[in-house]
């Protein structure tokens, strides 16, 4: 199992960051380089507890689909998205939010297992972990911009 652990500081209240991070439209904006689109389940707006979304995007030159469910959500503190169908053996992304003095510390903990038997580990080491890390970093950059912009407009 591979773990990616990232922390992002965002100058916005955690409720704004939390909602931006579960907003399907914001995710699509952040994933434009992979042409990722929500094609089933919740396809726009906020995803909530026990709802699903199916994504279709181009990764490594192939169009892939990935269906996730939100099995755990504690509003404004954390939520989990977990793969139900897709190309991983397992995939669980935990999102944590903590606000300190008007700054939200958003923590991503992504754990996944690669498929492809003995070929999965070298593929992960050489390509996949870096690809997923960059994907989340780009997502977080967009979340930061969207959240800080919204926060500056909120009285």
Q: Give residue 115's pLDDT.
A: 82
pTM: 0.91
CA distance 110 to 107: 10
DSSP-assigned letter for residue 117: H
Look at residue 46 and give its three-state secondary structure: strand
pLDDT digits (tens, 9 = 90+) for 33-76: 888 999 999 999 999 999 999 999 888 788 999 999 999 999 99
Distance of alpha carbon 113 from alpha carbon 153, whole angstroms: 41
Long-range CB pairs of 22-25, under 8 A, 24+ apart, other chains included: 22/46, 22/47, 22/48, 22/70, 22/79, 22/95, 23/47, 24/53
What the block records as the tokens of 30 is 């952040």
Q: Rounded mean pLDDT of 20-39?
A: 91
């Amino acid at each position: 199992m591979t773990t990616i652990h990232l922390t992002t500081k965002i100058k916005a209240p955690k409720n704004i960051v939390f909602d931006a991070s579960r907003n399907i439209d914001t995710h699509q904006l952040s994933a434009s380089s992979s042409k990722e689109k929500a094609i089933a389940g919740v396809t726009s707006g906020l995803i909530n507890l026990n709802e699903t979304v199916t994504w279709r995007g181009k990764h490594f030159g192939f169009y892939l689909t990935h269906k996730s469910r939100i099995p755990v959500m504690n509003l404004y503190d954390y939520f989990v998205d977990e793969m139900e169908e897709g190309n991983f053996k397992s995939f669980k992304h935990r999102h944590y939010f903590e606000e300190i003095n008007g700054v939200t510390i958003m923590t991503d903990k992504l754990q996944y297992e690669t498929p492809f038997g003995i070929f999965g580990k070298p593929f992960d080491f050489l390509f996949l972990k870096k690809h997923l890390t960059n994907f989340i970093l780009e997502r977080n950059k967009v979340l930061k911009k969207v959240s800080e912009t919204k926060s500056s407009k909120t009285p």
